[in-house]
Structure 1
Amino acid sequence: MNAEAGISEARQNQKGGFMGTCVITGASGHLGANLARLLLEQGRRVRALVREDVRALEGLDIECKKGDVMDRGSLEACFGRGDTVFNCAGRISLTGQPDPFFMSTNMEGVRNVVDVCLAKGVSRLVHVSSIHAFAEIPGNGTLDETMPLVTKNGAVGYDVSKAEGQRIVQDGAAKGLDAVIVNPAAIIGPFDYKPSSMGELFIDLCNNRMPILIDAGFNWVDARDAASGLIAAESRGRTGECYLLAGEWKKLRDLASAISDVTGRQTARSTVPVPLALMASRVNWFFCRLTGTPTKFTPFSIETIQMHRYVSHRKAAEELGYKPRPFAQTVKDTIAWFEQAGRLKLSG
């Protein structure tokens, strides 16, 4: 029996797809933590590649192995024949600059994962890319999987790194690796322990630390829905294909309003036009670079919230059965989790 036939038989005979050990890189991150919980709920065996911060996995019945996608030896010790590998490891940058740290993780780290998957004979690789791997849609066009990936010409460093990582996985699929790619939108939701950049934004809005909002927004997806999309891609995705995992596009003002509806607290209502915010961010970025002060208010972060207003998840819905929950439910559940985790104090 050839490899493709064996994979097909496994899908038919095993409910939910492959039933070997599920290896998660980036398991202690926001998406990885949600994925680990969902896999455990389904009775799967989970092995996590972790570094130092494992708060997101404490108390879970998971085998943890110390390592990093930049350390090929740790990958070889973590991956096994017949495993499913969910590559959730990745770095996010709000500067737009080609920083070697996140560029290497998002590109060479992916190459290491692909090479070790091929060498070890894993059952399937599910790689997490991003909607930002795709070229920007002019005007009000809709982003779908037919759009080209960004190139190095004129694109910012983060977008280039995610696109190159996606190409590396596609090259691996051409060499015989059974690999599927998912491209989530902006992720929010429970189990955001660190928290993520989007989680910090969410907390700031809850605490009314942003008196003025930029008149723009994101396509938001619940971390639990993105995790479900990864598992569906494992069992139902087509080799070499990519799937956009999107939710609803909402302005920052809409998010603030939804938060206010749940908490009863007043949140920011005033907005500033994007061109004015972009000008201010350039000045801020200049002075922060001079002084070495970290900042999230950068030209890249402003440009990011203008991109990809319309994102189609039709392919994921039709082929994977992907169905994101309502935005309002995500907001409500995220607030409840942050309060339970001690990151928000809404009463007393």
Structure 2
Amino acid sequence: MKVAVTGAAGFVGTNLVRSLVAAGHQVVAVDRVRPAADTGEAGDEQVTWVDGDVLDRRSMEQALDGAEVVYHLVAMITLAQNSDRAWTVNTKGVRTVAEAALAVGARRMVHCSSIHSFDQIRCGGVLDESSVRSTDRALPVYDRSKWEGEVQLRQVVDQGLDAVICNPTGVYGPTDHGLSRINGLLRTAARGRTPVLIEGGFDLVDVRDVADGLMAAAEKGRTGENYLLSGSMLRMLDAFRTAARAAGRRGPAFAVPLSVVDKILPVVEPIGARFGSDVLSRAAMAALLAAPVVDGTKARSELGFSPRPADETIRDLIAFLVTSGQFSVARAG
């Protein structure tokens, strides 16, 4: 089957394209950037790379022509409170791709949204597909734009497009030539360079499982429905220690309580901003401070979604970083 993937060179895109190829599909990989040949992701004979603009309807119709299933992964991730570019890409980009998919007669579109389209602060401690959405203007632009992107998609569904929405939690694991924020922090921990961290936890899901979930949604998902692709709630202290042990190092000694961090954020956030760092910012800490329990029952029951254990993901990540030359156990530290 011929399928198309927007954002194919990104973190999730790389893994999805690989899974689609393994399943025997012909893939049109749509991205403004093509992976370097030495990543091993660019040259498969089942993959055709296309330079496409998700804000240009004509460009998208040309790229998606003939595809039975369209996977839309393009998004601009940011912790900024406001960003016109992020808002446009995450909202108009979704609508443009959806309208193009409808115009070329695609059988189905799968939109990779995010847990951030749900308001994790106001969800009441447990988050599922019926939870309150990210409409509060106090939330970062990424959260608000991911929800608005879903609104735009549903308007095209009302016009006849068959589309499904997946909402992964925190995505991590191999393959990642980036690195993502979470993977980068785990690499730092594996180097033995994180003696102390902030307490808290977050639901993390393996990127390979996300790829499987997106493919399952294409075949089994119900039109217009959301599916939370959750992994497991991980204490950051445990995750960082696991990464360190996988590299033969000691992990963080202890974690600073979130109650302490919450009190000092008004002081340290502007200082970090002056030095170009958003590590200690309200936006960066919001998910840890909220720490909702994510109920992934719907994806498990309807899609057969079955994420792997966290320890396996972390060990595989460190092994990948070594084999890809992004981490050296011998010289780290």
**TM-score strictly above 0.5:** yes
| Counterpart residue number, 1:156 | 140
Q: 1:201 to 1:41 in 2, by over 3 A?
A: same
The letter of the residue matching 2:184 is E
* Per-residue deviation, 1:201: 1.5
* Higher mean C-alpha deviation, range 75-84 or range 161-170: 75-84
Report what 2:314 is aligned to: 331
2:52 counterpart residue number: 67
The reply to whether residue 245 of structure 1 matches residue 229 of structure 2 is: yes
- Residue number among 209, 212, 219 corresponding to 1:225 in the alignment: 209
Does 2:303 match 1:320? yes
**Partner SS state of residue 187, structure 1:** strand
Q: Which residue, 278, 282, 298 being the options, matches 1:295? A: 278
**What's the CA shift for 1:150?**
1.7
Specify the alignment match of 2:324 in structure 1: 341
Query: Which residue among 187, 190, 211 is the counterpart of 1:206?
Result: 190
Kept in 1, the 8 Å contact 2:3–2:67? The answer is no
- Relative to the length of structure 2, the TM-score reads 0.92
Alignment-derived partner of residue 93 in structure 1: 78
Q: TM-score, normalised by structure 1?
A: 0.88
Q: CA deviation at 1:133?
A: 0.7
Q: Is 293-302 or 326-335 further displaced after alignment?
A: 293-302
The question of whether the paired residues in 2 share the 8 Å contact of 1:94 and 1:296 is answered with no
The Cα offsets for residues 61-112 of structure 1, whole Å up to 9 and x where unpaired, read as 31001123123332122011452110011111123x1112212111111121
Aligned residues with identical type, % of pairs: 34
SS at match of 2:228: strand
Residue-pair matches, total: 327
User: What is the aligned partner in structure 1 of residue 250 from structure 2?
Assistant: 266
| SS of residue in 1 equivalent to 2:290 | coil
Q: Give the counterpart of 2:18 among 31, 37, 40.
A: 37
1:28 maps to what in 2? 9
Q: C-alpha separation between the residues in 2 aligned to 1:105 and 1:82?
A: 22
Instruction: Tell me by how many angstroms 1:137 deviates.
Output: 5.6
Deviations 1:230-266 (A, max 9, x none): 0000000000001000001111101012113322201
Aligned partner of 2:100 among 103, 106, 116? 116
How far apart, CA to CA, are the structure 2 residues paired with 1:24 and 1:212?
39
C-alpha RMSD over aligned residues = 1.9
Residue identity opposite 2:28 in structure 1: R
For residues 264 and 159 of structure 2, the distance between their equivalents in structure 1, rounded to whole angstroms, comes to 47
2:151 corresponds to: 167
Distance across 2 between alignment mates of 1:82 and 1:59: 20
Any stretches of 5+ residues in structure 1 without a counterpart? 1-18
- How far 1:140 sits from its partner (Å)? 6.1
Distance 2:143 2:105 in 1: 30
Q: What letter corresponds to residue 65 of structure 2 in structure 1?
A: G
Contact 1:274 1:302 in 2 (8 A): no
